[in-house]
Structure 1
Amino acid sequence: MPRPVTNRPLLKAYDYIVVGSGSGGAAVARRLIEGADATVLVIEAGSAEFDAPEITDPTRWVPLGRSRHDWLYDYAPTERVAGRTIGIPRGKVLGGSSSTNAMMWYRGHSADYDAWGAAGCDGWSFADCLPYFKRAEDWEGGETAFRGAGGPLRIETSKALHPVAQALIEGAGELGIPRIADPNSETNEGAAPSNFNISGGKRWSSVTGYLAPIFGNPRLTILCNSQAVGLMIENGAIVGVQHLVEGQPIETRATTQVVLAAGAIDTPRLLMLSGIGDPEELASLGIEFRHALPGVGKNLQDHPLVQAVVCRSKQPMGPALDNGGGSMINWKSRSGLLQPDIHAFPVQGNSAEPRIRELYDLSGDVFSIGAGLMHSKSIGHVKMLSSDPFGPLDIQPNYLAEPSDLDALIVAVETMMDLAETRAFSDLFDGFSAPSRRLSKPEMIDFIRQGCSTFFHPVGTAKMGNDEMAVVDARLKLRGLDGLTIADASVIPIIPTCNTHAPVTMIGERAADFLLGAA
């Protein structure tokens, strides 16, 4: 694998500056280099260690969430999650969260993107987005009406499903949930092998796919270990980025555009640090007000995940395969829904939240089934608690604030217990460990509150649209100030029913086309 050129002199100005090298930023940088004669600077707060062994090994991804490659963010506690602080992993390394995530490639349901169009994001229906999903893909099955081939991101399924992953698919059929060949095809409702960004037994991150092939391009500069701390604003336009180099603040100018791709937490923080946001909130922090956009930091959405239904196993799990999972199920919590709203996956071991580990005996050989809500309705916020770029944040998804979210999770957990008792699991299942038995509704609600965790899919904090809370327009340009495009999960107005790597990559692909005048 090639290495980024790290000794290239830093210029005073570039045509484009991309802040963040994750799913959106990497796609933008690649397409700008390919599509124009522009100079591009990518600023990454994390290290260049995208190829560290703990990152490239698909079975070692879970501990990355509290490692030196992580921002160490937390969701603030509420009584709805039993007063617990929930860690929210975000990659702080070249490739961002694409270098630390679970390597799932999944775009959800077509209705997700049609809902964006209906919410005031013209040109963002599924039909509009599908060509960009396809352009990103190198799908193992080749090109189809729904899949792409030859794109930067390799996507494969398991070469040999773990017995727990196979049982999940077969057991779903016993519960009336159909088996489907590909959850990224015509329908996503059913059980299927997972789509992974894994090839040759190694993680295939956005660095691997988008950036590594252009590492040597003389028009590309990748600057790692450099945190952006502000945006330069002159005469009603964003003209550059203030960032740290070896701990010292410098200013680098963008002659054409700044592209902000720092994610749903750090993008709103950088906007607020620059005086862009809710004037009252900025004043309370002592930050000089520059431009009113009250939606900055609002509209935070994430998928709640109950971790987990843990079962005693009749046999050892053996070496971990794939990412420790291997398959997935999407189904409806109640009849009459337009699309599946709940999701489950197997874990080849114990995936319980710390509180669940305290409450139950999970010793011995176990496997787990994680169940979560992909069509969540609860909405929260990201707030700065000081004007310090490294200061604390109040990050609050408001999990379970909407009663319908809790109702759907009850169905999800109960269905997972039903699944464990199907014939498909008869060679594995040896009784429940957590919960240790069937629960009454009040007991089940308590179990969900104690076990509620995150899929780490935060979105929405600089949403796209045309209402007063929108931060960017339908071409991803900051509303009211020239010179800034946002190309990350923060622009998503309504959370899609899927892992967010694929939709954010699609957003990066579209952002590049907008910048290049190709769309």
Structure 2
Amino acid sequence: MPAIVRIPEKPLEKAYDYIVIGAGSGGCPVVRRLIDDTEATVLLIEAGEAGIGIREIDDPAEWVPLGRSRFDWGYDYAPAPHAKDRVIGIPRGKALGGSSAINALMWYRGHPLDYDAWDAAGATGWTFQDVLPYFKRCEDWEGGETEFRGAGGPLKITTSKTLHPIAQAMMDGAGELGIPVIDDPNGATNEGATPSNFNVFEGRRWSSANGYLFPILDNPRLTILTGSLTTGLIIENGRCVGVRHVVDGRTVETCATSEVVLAAGAIDTPRLMMLSGIGNARDLGDLGIPVVADLPGVGANLQDHPLIQAFVFRAAQPLGPKTDNGGGTMLNWKSRPGLAQADVHAFPVQGNSAEPPLRARYDMAGEVFSLGFGLMHSKSVGYMRMLSADPRGPLELQPNYLAEPSDLEALVSAYHTIMDLASTPAYRDLIAGTAAPDRPLNEREVIDFIRDGCSTFFHPCGTCKMGNDEMAVTDPRLKVRGIDGLRITDASVIPVIPTCNTHAPVTMIGERAADFLKEDA
């Protein structure tokens, strides 16, 4: 990476071979591989600003305030019926790097069975063995190349140099409960307590922009346009031939001679599709949008992991400065015996991470730390819906958290495991008492605590799923059904949510999409 990173100013041409919309985890790999491996010209359009040289972005410990900053789209989930009709914010990155520029810096790809489930759901050819080479291609893993890990790739991946005491306690306490302690969650299994993998290098965030874009900024075939909102796709005779986007306050049209690649994320990719007449014909008609392609799956199948924020404990000793991303380790285990893979997840927080209803109910004054926990194998499914034909208009984003009874049951089980974890000798010198909850709860109160603490892991996906059924929006090569020259390479194509943060799988999707584009050129 150059010492001083800048985006070269270039005139906007009338046409490029490829146009990529969105500079996040799925878009950046596509751009990099097209520039490195072909002679194509590429235009990358990003609605946000560059976000280069911003202390809050660069500092791993300062990621939380990036939500609701100018680098966040500012979306909210609609009132959640099973979470007391609370409005839950859903941060989405708005800068080069997309959400990898504002997320918790986690590099985590879940369990091999997650990807076998994609194949079984109709995304044929996406088993773990199919996608493992693309995961490895992404990585520059501090431990070097192994059967499961890659080295020399664009994304730096490291672990904590010195675990914070509350992070170390999670690993030690898990061992005392009989939960495995493992070296690497991105190996043959993710079950157990383990140091987290971070996109951090030399103490700074290493986003998709750092890894994939910054080394090629001066390539003459690449044009990067920031601050440009894409408002529509240009479809002619069943083919996407370009895009409409805003440049300096006016709408322009730019053509793509090969393909347009949508990588705007699980919210803005389906929105752009619907704005362009691609979606559920009935819904488009209600908004007065002419139908170009009736694809009822656009906006359906919204999935996200419910996160319960959080158990809060009074610290028995000063916590000191934040280290890593404010966490450092994580824990994956089974909510009940007999499951094929771990389904629940927990992590430490070097501070107070409780949701507002819990902050209002409990006294959390003084120095505290938290244990967040959530469900990574969630079954509840929601939807997204446009409420206006305005490209900047309101959306209804409904994840339907806790709608499936099995999701709530798993979280109740996880609650009790976290209580047991905090009671192990590993935490004896760290906990001076409980703040939230401040006493043992009965089963009804546990459910109430979960509903009050329900939040998001920031993992929306599935809204333009790939597959082969009538609700599939793309085929397994990520081509939009019924429209030539249009492909999707972001979290919206995920058919079944994996048991992990979505940055890693979406980066893998982008890497694989680049191969598809090159093969189909």
Alpha-carbon shift at residue 518 of structure 1 (Å): 8.3
**Against the structure 1 CA distance between its residues 148 and 21, is the aligned structure 2 distance closer, same or farther, given a 3 Å change threshold?**
same
Q: Please, which of 77, 84, 87 is the counterpart of residue 85 of structure 1?
A: 87
Aligned mates of 2:297, 2:81 — CA distance in 1: 26
Deviation by residue 1:29-68 (Cα, 9 ceiling, x = unmatched)? 0000011000000000000113311100000000101101
Matched, 1:42 2:50: no
Q: Please, which of 370, 373, 378 is the counterpart of residue 371 of structure 1?
A: 373
- Preserved contact between residue 305 and residue 371 of structure 1 (Cα < 8 Å): yes
- Give, as a single letter, the amino acid of the residue that structure 1 aligns with 2:208: S
Aligned mates of 2:105, 2:520 — CA distance in 1: 29
Alpha-carbon shift at residue 4 of structure 1 (Å): 3.9
SS at structure 1 position matched to 2:273: helix
Alpha-carbon shift at residue 432 of structure 1 (Å): 1.0
How many aligned residue pairs are there? 519
Aligned mates of 2:74, 2:162 — CA distance in 1: 34
Matched, 1:275 2:277: yes
Aligned mates of 1:350, 1:206 — CA distance in 2: 29
Matched, 1:247 2:249: yes
Give 1:332's aligned residue: 334
Spell out the pairing of 1:149-228 with structure 2 (5 A cutoff): 149-228=151-230
- Preserved contact between residue 81 and residue 400 of structure 2 (Cα < 8 Å): no
Q: Please, which of 264, 272, 285 is the counterpart of residue 262 of structure 1?
A: 264
Alpha-carbon shift at residue 78 of structure 1 (Å): 2.6
- Preserved contact between residue 14 and residue 39 of structure 1 (Cα < 8 Å): yes
Give 1:306's aligned residue: 308
Give 2:481's aligned residue: 479
Deviation by residue 1:121-165 (Cα, 9 ceiling, x = unmatched)? 111000000000000000000000000000000000000000000
Aligned mates of 1:127, 1:64 — CA distance in 2: 36
SS at structure 1 position matched to 2:492: helix
Spell out the pairing of 1:389-408 with structure 2 (5 A cutoff): 389-408=391-410
Alpha-carbon shift at residue 416 of structure 1 (Å): 1.0
Structure 2 residues without counterparts, runs of 5 or longer: none
TM-score, reference length from structure 2 = 0.99
- Give, as a single letter, the amino acid of the residue that structure 2 aligns with 1:55: I
Matched, 1:344 2:346: yes
Spell out the pairing of 1:60-75 with structure 2 (5 A cutoff): 60-75=62-77
- Give, as a single letter, the amino acid of the residue that structure 1 aligns with 2:401: Y
Alpha-carbon shift at residue 2 of structure 1 (Å): 4.2
Deviation by residue 1:68-101 (Cα, 9 ceiling, x = unmatched)? 1000000011331112110000001111001000
Give 1:111's aligned residue: 113
Q: Please, which of 122, 126, 136 is the counterpart of residue 120 of structure 1?
A: 122
Q: Please, which of 134, 138, 141 is the counterpart of residue 140 of structure 2?
A: 138
Deviation by residue 1:156-204 (Cα, 9 ceiling, x = unmatched)? 0000000000000000011110100001011110000000000111000
Deviation by residue 1:2-24 (Cα, 9 ceiling, x = unmatched)? 43434101000000000000000
Give 1:514's aligned residue: 516
- Preserved contact between residue 228 and residue 247 of structure 2 (Cα < 8 Å): yes
Task: List, as ranges, runs of 4+ consecutive aligned residues in structure 1 with deviation greater than 4 Å.
Answer: none
Aligned mates of 1:49, 1:509 — CA distance in 2: 23
**Against the structure 1 CA distance between its residues 2 and 237, is the aligned structure 2 distance closer, same or farther, given a 3 Å change threshold?**
farther
TM-score, reference length from structure 1 = 0.99
Aligned mates of 1:157, 1:230 — CA distance in 2: 41
Q: Pairwise CA RMSD of aligned residues?
A: 0.9
Aligned mates of 2:433, 2:462 — CA distance in 1: 40
- Preserved contact between residue 72 and residue 94 of structure 2 (Cα < 8 Å): yes
SS at structure 2 position matched to 1:517: helix
Q: Please, which of 361, 364, 370 is the counterpart of residue 363 of structure 2?
A: 361
SS at structure 2 position matched to 1:413: helix
Matched, 1:293 2:295: yes
Give 1:7's aligned residue: 9
Alpha-carbon shift at residue 227 of structure 1 (Å): 0.5
- Give, as a single letter, the amino acid of the residue that structure 1 aligns with 2:382: G
Give 2:34's aligned residue: 32
SS at structure 2 position matched to 1:77: strand
Deviation by residue 1:382-431 (Cα, 9 ceiling, x = unmatched)? 10001000000000000000000000011112211111111000110112
Spell out the pairing of 1:408-423 with structure 2 (5 A cutoff): 408-423=410-425
SS at structure 1 position matched to 2:434: strand
Give 1:435's aligned residue: 437
- Preserved contact between residue 464 and residue 471 of structure 1 (Cα < 8 Å): yes
Aligned mates of 1:99, 1:50 — CA distance in 2: 10
- Preserved contact between residue 330 and residue 348 of structure 2 (Cα < 8 Å): yes
- Give, as a single letter, the amino acid of the residue that structure 2 aligns with 1:489: A
Aligned mates of 1:509, 1:43 — CA distance in 2: 18
